[in-house]
A and B are shown apart, each in its own frame.
Chain A
């Protein structure tokens, strides 16, 4: 099957699924999906837009059941809603018309009989083209604009939203990381990798509650490094608790929370890539206390046990060195890859996997496994994407999951956004 027939098939399956939901609940159904042309249906941009709009929808209407599907069509959110369908449609049209991401999203409303309500029944005209004033269907049928122009316009509009606050920047970075595929044992939209206890929904649920919390790092006022570190750590603890509450106790983002807070903390005080490493190092000095206090702890984490066994300081060690050289090297690499965002991310992940002494890898594969992973990642990085599938399979067979590299990838994506935004002001 080609990309397009996969999509058409998914759509039919979804229509049947929707029918089933309506028969089951006998209530109106809201279906939120991206409205973007082009082949790359499941990508960070569409996932971000759908997730943000879904959050907006859920904030203004009651729901009895919410679920997501992740397919060739992208991420689709279904909301079963105990409210009268006509008033629902009006509210959804309001979001489509007035939210800055509204144009890029389709919010379908089906009544309890399964009929799709049309915007034309509410006095709204059919949607106009993204790039000109003609009706959208005309430009799409006549292929008036090259797909790249439309894609680039849509990405631009989404990035405007992303760059409008630190919370959204963090949300985008974390959603982007989880959307990347294949991921060599880590969780993707299409599979949980080697993890039996979590999937992409666990990750998205976590992201939606921790992003706002991590963004509070923006509100801190610097007095001295120790109190600044302690304040960041306090934010981290709250974020962790919210994460565990949203995932029913599954650790999706502990490492990411730590890494992002260290990077944001350092960034607040440097505002340039040149000074960042140094500021993270100064901030990280407070971590030395953790290693000194280790013998007082009754319960050690995996990372702490590895430190005692081999001296590997794990992610704290990375922070002490200011994540140097990996963070800056990976950012440079990420920016240099001339391909779509998914390929940029997967290649950057391979880059990181080839360089980091990832304690999450050692935990699952031992030191020998880490060595294998670093060597193989380096080899695969030089080859083209046809080689990814096989490497992905091999990593699954070996119980591989480079969590540390994934966390670092989120940090790279976030740093890319932060630095670009900073440059706009110069």
Chain B
């Protein structure tokens, strides 16, 4: 599935993550991450985000993430919300 309609989820608060889903600029899933803990957890955040998108059947999108230290379940929940709002 390709994302065609933009959608957002989350907030800019501590322990949360702001997710913006947009139509892909190139091919496949592109994730752009900004995070207060990018050095320690950047890789893990991308992994969770990618897995969540793939599990929901998304094959193409641009996913912008502004993370303020969200835990994995929050990241997954916010991405899920955004996908549902986009469809």
A141: CB under 8 A from chain B?
Answer: yes
Q: Assess A15 versus B40: contact at CB under 8 Å? Given A8-B74, A137-B69.
A: no
B71 touches A15 (CB 8 A): no
CB interface residues, A 130-149, toward B, < 8 Å: 137-138, 140-141
A11 engages B36 (CB within 8 Å):
no
**Centre residue among A4, A8, A14, A106 by max chain B CB count within 10 A:** A8
Q: Report the minimum CB–CB distance from B86 to chain A (whole Å).
A: 15
Would you call B31 an interface residue if the criterion is a C-beta within 8 Å of the partner chain's C-beta atoms?
Answer: no
From 20 to 76 in chain B, residues with beta carbon under 8 angstroms from any chain A beta carbon are 36-37, 40-41, 44, 69, 71-74
CB contacts (< 8 Å) of A14 on chain B: these are 11
One of A8, A116, A126 near B36 (C-beta < 8 A): A126
When distances are taken between beta carbons in the complex, the residues of chain A under 8 Å from B13 are: 11, 15, 108, 116
- CB <8 Å contact, B12 and A116: yes
| Size class of the B contact interface (CB-based, 8 Å) | 20 to 34
Given A5-B77, A8-B74, A8-B78, do A141 and B41 touch, yes or no (CB 8 Å)?
Answer: yes
Q: Is the CB of B71 within 8 A of A11?
A: no
Q: A12 contacts B10, CB within 8 Å? A: yes
Given known pairs A15-B13, A126-B36, the reply for A8 and B69 (CB within 8 Å) is no
- Closest chain B residue, CB of each to CB of A18: B11
**List of A residues within 8 angstroms of B41 by Cβ:** 141
Indicate if the CB atoms of A8 and B71 lie closer than 8 Å.
no
What is the chain A residue whose CB lies nearest that of B12? A116
Contact between A4 and B11, CB atoms less than 8 A apart: no
Among A5, A15, A106, point to the contact of B11 (Cβ < 8 A). Answer: A15
Residues on the A chain within 8 Å of B37, using CB: 137, 141
A138-B77 contact in complex given A15-B11, A116-B12, A116-B13, C-beta closer than 8 Å: no
Give the nearest-CB partner of A5 in chain B.
Answer: B77
Residues of chain A lying within 8 A (CB to CB) of residue B12? 15, 116
Q: What interface size band does chain A fall in?
A: 10 to 19
Kindly state the separation between the CA atoms of A18 and B44 in the bound complex, as whole angstroms.
31
List of A residues within 8 angstroms of B74 by Cβ? 4, 8
Whether A12 and B9, one on each chain, are in contact in the complex, defined by CB atoms closer than 8 angstroms, is: yes
User: In angstroms, how far is the closest chain B Cβ from the Cβ of A78?
Assistant: 14
Mask, A380-416, CB within 8 Å of B = 1, is 0000000000000000000000000000000000000
Q: Contacts A138-B40, A141-B41; is A106 near B77 (CB within 8 Å)?
A: no
In the complex, which of the residues A108, A138, A141 has the most CB atoms of chain B within 10 Å of its own CB atom?
A141
B40 touches A4 (CB 8 A): no
Q: In the bound complex, what is the Cα–Cα distance between A108 and B11 (angstroms)?
A: 13
Chain A nearest CB from B3 CB (Å) reads: 20
Q: Is the beta-carbon distance between A11 and B16 smaller than 8 angstroms? A: yes
Which residues of B lie under 8 Å from residue A138 when comparing CB positions? 40
Residues of the A chain whose Cβ atoms lie less than 8 Å from the Cβ of B40 = 138, 141
| Chain A 318-332 residues near chain B, CB threshold 8 A | none
| Among B13, B72, B73, B81, residue most surrounded by chain A Cβ atoms (within 10 Å) | B13
Contact present for B77 and A11 (CB under 8 Å): no
Contact of B77 among A8, A116, A126, A140 (CB under 8 A): A8
Residues of B within 8 A of A11 (CB): 11, 13, 16
Q: Is the CB of A106 within 8 A of B14?
A: yes
Residue of B nearest to A16 (CB): B11
Residues of chain B with a CB closer than 8 A to A15's CB: 11-13
Pair A4/B73 contact, Cβ less than 8 Å: yes
* Nearest chain A CB to B71 CB, angstrom units: 6
Q: Chain A, 106-119, contact with B by CB distance < 8 Å: what is the 0/1 string?
A: 10100000001000
Give A138 to B41 CA distance when docked, in angstroms: 9
A-B contact pairs, 28 of them (CB 8 A): A4-B73, A4-B74, A4-B77, A8-B10, A8-B16, A8-B74, A8-B81, A11-B11, A11-B13, A11-B16, A12-B9, A12-B10, A12-B11, A14-B11, A106-B14, A108-B13, A116-B12, A116-B13, A126-B36, A137-B36, A137-B69, A138-B40, A140-B15, A140-B71, A141-B40, A141-B41, A141-B44, A141-B71
* 8 pairs of A and B residues whose beta carbons are closest in the complex: A15-B11, A137-B69, A137-B37, A8-B77, A11-B11, A116-B12, A12-B11, A5-B77
Give B residues with C-beta under 8 Å from A: 9-16, 36-37, 40-41, 44, 69, 71-74, 77-78, 81
Q: Knowing that A15-B13, A138-B40 are A-B contacts, what are 5 other residue pairs whose CB atoms are under 8 Å apart, sorted by A's residue number?
A: A4-B77, A5-B77, A11-B13, A137-B69, A140-B71
